[in-house]
Structure 1
């Protein structure tokens, strides 16, 4: 290829004046140096961006135009109302963009609040030299945008497509890109979310023509150069965030130093030395709270004292999806199972009816915010969302996707890959597979590339600087050592130093030391039902009970299901031996999956907030973090209503289990 000398294009070293403030906006940060380089190489007369959101990419283009003196006319087209991928938002996004854009670039750039189809008539055919398409990402929408705007592109025109690496949910840019690159010269910026450069015009600068026609081997150094520049910008953004936080803490200290002498003198004149002492203790406690520093602000009285991070497993199956409609009936959600449950024996607590949060729908952002607010109030550090990945197809993904795209709620999270086949096991038909897990090297790479989108989010839970990722059934992976090795290699290529991989001890097969499978640690799963038969016996089993059942004096539920004493199980788990490897502990407020299963369910009978609190207290007393950041304790679960284990308030107990959680964390 033609010699590429970065010093000929110093614009690519410029630091952008507008940086990302949300997760979805940050996805463009890593492409800014390359985008500015394109402006320098192309020197477009007219630049149009379709889909601008907060303006990270568009303002970078405008900044390059201004610093280069390129004389380009720039136009951003967007409704600024949002879409299903970015989430929906109000006028504040456009208002914030205008406050930055207009003073700097208003002389040559314009923000057009319109649909793409409405705006296209304002541009003459053959007038646009650089078109960036970054709107709604489903295949049909992206193809429509390209075909509608293609006549407007000049004979020296270039079209950019963002997110060519994203294969999850219904993103379809990658599919259109695969079609178009067969017809036009092109260049692929394969780092991050991916940026496709399509040279649709016949007249292109020599350097761009060389980029579009060179082999991948010849382009390795160029891609690495721009990838490293993009990573530098993201690291600089994180550094600036930390600097601001440190300054805020310094301001607190300064204010404290200035105000304390006169304030305490005033107290002394009115309340004496005893009053001064009381006020001093109160002030020191307040300053300690304000100075507590971490990647996420810890809140609530519970977290102020603890040296662990409690993480609650989180089920996203509280919204309808087409697959569940087909398999289980239209409108099916987890609430379907919960609402039709009935008691199976005397004293059996069913159904579990939600209290203040109600029978919620996780498609509602305000509901997800309410959950996070409640969890934070009672000392939960973060949620571990179950993720359902089937060889590139994702199910029950909308709640997490909207959390990721919107940046809300501002509450820590991590992911657990629930890598099981979906079957009709609830109906006793485990061999009737609805959707099957399959494994391959290519899928391992595709999976970790998608996961990287979540790992980059500032809310993502890390061990040190290593993103935490759990696998529910690691032993089901044909070659887990090879898979974890691929994940780590790909993660390093994507800019991560290392991953922190945990295997969940969900079944009896998951007892091998995690290092043997390529994992860093294990996560205990409670109840540990695979150990129960060897430690204790189900209630009301044996000849006497069978006779009572046959005579109709006892419910058959005790024979058709395994019913254990919660108190006895909790006591056994509190005292069992620790393994000779790293394992993060777990407790559960209860378990009863009879809403999901007609028979063969497991029930922990007799759970109370007091018994749960004792179990959690004993677990915390035994657990010593293994090292910096290795301070994780798991709770199963936040909202597993169909399995009777939830911290969310119900009609019977209200917030009692949350209160018990906070008391245990506080050491009270």
Structure 2
């Protein structure tokens, strides 16, 4: 029987295939190397190739269109081209480099310019770009994927969910090095991937989906060096692996209350995803938050803009099913409740419909509280001038009227309480002329509306001191608001010369926030998944560069651990935000990271 790789000659430091030389990088010794750059870099060991030999020998599989993820200098692309009967091979890699001279020579000598294509600086988690490459280069169909890319859970899952629906029944998706995180040599947390989750979880989920769906995946074949997922017959449009996994409900139900009684995670929630007459007048007909989100443009090399929704799409919050989907998704990943921003101007409310319908319908059955966004609306908020659109005003009568307006929400059984008192957050407490007098009137009005008291929380914004002299019971962080951001600035390559904003380092912000000492007053801590308001302010934006699910998870996990050391009645942690899309601060899935931020949230909350 003919062996697939029988023409390979293995030497100590190289593999020979006719006149091609593959340098074995695992055995690299520059002192004894005699060929300079006249070779391919090769990261496959003989043991791995032997595993492939056993796998391919048991299959009659003749792929025509192949996508390779992770190619280093093109050696693996040439390797597979020589051994598979391919018509077209497209390879992507995250590195900022070009094809090596040896690879270009190989392609030219074999007249493969139209049949082998490479795409550098391509993130496998960038679902939109990945789909575009497959559509344009492979006519939208992939028979074989060999994924030797990031070796991390979230981006690999994103690539799988993007490509798997484009594969025909019997197509193969191969994930190399799935078990690297279990190797004894990779247990040091300082290792380059030490803080990121590897691939064994994804392989486990694929096995669960195989047993749950029956027709989604024909088989999962696992070797020490790679796992092979064979496409089933299911027609897939929008594909999310989690939707195809069934787990025993009683186990999930048993675990959920334990998490909720431990630390309650509350996500700030923006309701501006539906048109209102005021925005039609001030901006344009049909204006919603999405109107600005889609205009975000990159301002430097590698700048992630725009942030575009993936799983929930460009939703409209007037739809009850949208609000239900959000709550189901949040609950599934450990979010305890939403904190809705509330826009109230001397009795006039804006963006009120979603929350009013939540109250009237009793759905979704999901905890919530309210944050009064008590700032004057100007055109500057969305990148315009300082012209006032709607001014915020204060008076004793308005203080009482606000609580009268909020009372139906405070009485709702879903409303979040602390020791029986409804939690009420105020975004800009220092804007109130006499905060202490106002908070006392609020408590009186609450009692007049049949409530024992309120749990008043001041947002730590715009220089807030100790909230207690202002009449508040606690404060809540609101990152990226902090005392000073100037020393968090960082340099980025290729910055637009018109840029007049701030580019700051996300990881340094995380370190700064985590290093804050505990104050004498009650403080609820907050993490933000990322922050970048380019979509609103363009060249005057504030951008926190370097945000990632892994860095966010580290931040949130530390806040959760701190909360576990506090009074059980006050074990709240906040996230800014659930859906601030124009500020790139969202847990909701996007096209680059997919579910990664939600998955990081779930892991950070784990006991």
Select which of 352, 357, 375 maps to 2:307: 352
Contact 2:299 2:495 (C-alpha < 8 Å) held by counterparts:
no
Contact 2:578/2:585, CA 8 A, preserved across alignment: yes
Matches within 5 A, 1:11-160: none
**Number of the residue aligned with 1:560:** 500
Equivalent residue for 1:450?
A: 405
Residue of structure 2 aligned with 1:440, choices 391, 395, 409: 395
TM superposition score normalised by structure 1: 0.52
Match among 444, 450, 454 for residue 499 of structure 1: 454
Number of the residue aligned with 1:415: 370
Q: CA deviation at 1:464?
A: 1.6
Q: Which residue of 2 aligns with 1:255?
A: none
Structure 2: how far apart are the matches of 1:351 and 1:600? 16
Task: Please give the secondary structure, in 2, of the residue aligned with 1:382.
Answer: strand
Looking at structure 2, the residues matched to 595 and 410 of structure 1 have their Cα atoms a distance apart, in angstroms, of: 32
Once the two structures are superposed, the pairs formed by residues 127-276 of structure 1 within 5 Å of their partners are none
The separation in 1 between residues aligned to 2:326 and 2:605, in whole angstroms, is 19
Shift of 1:479: 0.8
| CA distance in 2: counterparts of 1:428 and 1:665, whole angstroms | 36
What is the number of residues matched between the two proteins?
360
The 1:626–1:419 alpha-carbon spacing in structure 2 relative to 1, beyond 3 Å, is same
Once residues 364 and 332 of structure 1 are traced to their aligned partners in structure 2, the CA distance between those partners, rounded to angstroms, is 17
Q: What residue number does 1:630 align with? A: 570
CA contact (8 A) 1:464 1:628 kept: no
2:528 aligned residue: 588
Structure 2: distance between partners of 1:461 and 1:306: 13
The one-character-per-residue Cα deviations of 1:68-109 (angstroms, maximum 9, x if unpaired) are xxxxxxxxxxxxxxxxxxxxxxxxxxxxxxxxxxxxxxxxxx
Match of 1:609 in 2: 549
SS class of match (1:416): strand
Cα deviation, residue 527, structure 1? 1.4
Give deviations 1:35-76, integer Å, cap 9, x for gaps.
xxxxxxxxxxxxxxxxxxxxxxxxxxxxxxxxxxxxxxxxxx
Q: Which residue pairs with 1:282 in the alignment? A: none
Give 1:572's match in structure 2, choosing from 504, 512, 516. 512
Per the TM alignment, residue 570 of structure 1 is displaced from its structure 2 partner at its CA by 1.1
Aligned residue for 1:662? 602
1:540 is the counterpart of 2:511? no
Change (3 A) 1:361 1:440: same
State the 1:345 CA deviation.
Answer: 1.0
- SS for the counterpart of 2:308 is coil
Contact 1:311–1:383, Cα closer than 8 Å, also in 2 = yes
Cα deviation, residue 504, structure 1: 0.4
RMSD of equivalent CA atoms: 2.1
CA shift, 1:613, in A, is: 0.5
How far apart, in 1, do the equivalents of 2:250 and 2:594 lie? 33
Q: Pairwise mapping of residues 303-314 of structure 1 onto structure 2 (< 5 A)? A: 304=259, 307-314=262-269
Change (3 A) 1:665 1:393: same
Partner of 1:17: none
Measure how far apart 1:561 and its partner are: 1.4
Distance 1:652 1:446, change over 3 A: same
Uncovered stretches (5+) of structure 2, i.e. residues with no partner: 1-247
What is the SS of the residue equivalent to 2:424?
strand
Match of 1:242 in 2: none
Superimposed CA distance per residue, residues 340-386 of structure 1 (whole angstroms, 9 cap, x where no aligned partner): 11111111100111001000000000000000000000000000000
Question: In 1, distance between residues paired with 2:316 and 2:543?
Answer: 27
* 1:528 positional shift: 2.5
Is the contact between residue 266 and residue 339 of structure 2 (CA under 8 Å) also seen in structure 1? yes
- 1:324 pairs with 2:279: yes
**Distance of 1:305 and 1:461 partners within structure 2:** 12
User: Within 5 A, what are the aligned runs for 1:388-399?
Assistant: 388-399=343-354
Question: 2-side partners of 1:440 and 1:506: how far apart?
Answer: 22
Q: Does residue 473 of the first structure (1) align with residue 428 of the second (2)?
A: yes
CA distance, structure 1, for counterparts of residue 375 and residue 513 of structure 2: 26
Alignment counterpart, residue 387 of structure 1, candidates 342, 348, 351: 342
Residue 540 of structure 1 and its aligned partner are, at CA, apart by: 2.6
2:536 and 2:250 mapped to 1: Cα distance?
A: 49
- Which secondary structure does the structure 1 equivalent of 2:349 belong to? strand
1:513 aligns with 2:445: no
Q: Is this contact kept in 1: 2:343–2:373, CA < 8 A?
A: yes
Equivalence for 1:489 = 444
What secondary structure does 1:316 align onto? coil
Contact 1:427 1:598 in 2 (8 A): no
Partners of 2:543 and 2:401 lie apart in 1 by 39
1:426-465 deviation digits (Å, cap 9, x = unpaired): 4655531000000011111111011111001000000021
CA contact (8 A) 2:315 2:322 kept: yes
Among 630, 641, 650, the alignment partner of 2:581 is 641
CA drift of 1:524 comes to 0.6
Equivalent-residue separation in structure 2 for 1:458 and 1:376 (angstroms): 17
Unaligned runs of 5+ in 1: 1-284, 293-297, 546-552
Name the one with the larger helix percent: 1
Question: Secondary structure at 1:663's aligned position in 2?
Answer: helix
The CA deviation string for residues 619-656 of structure 1, in whole angstroms up to 9 with x for no partner, is: 22223464342111000000000000100000100000
Q: Given the superposition, is the C-alpha separation of residues 426 and 495 from structure 1 closer, same or farther in structure 2, using an over 3 Å criterion?
A: closer
Structure 2 Cα separation of the partners of residues 587 and 560 of structure 1:
26
Q: Distance in 1 between matches of 2:532 and 2:346?
A: 31
Indicate if the aligned counterparts of 1:590 and 1:644 stay in contact, CA closer than 8 A: yes
Query: Is 2:570 the partner of 1:619?
Result: no
1:177 match: none
Matched, 1:531 2:472: no
Q: Secondary structure of the equivalent of 1:381? A: strand
Equivalence for 2:239: none
Alpha carbons of structure 1 residues 351 and 502: separation in structure 2 relative to 1, 3 Å: same
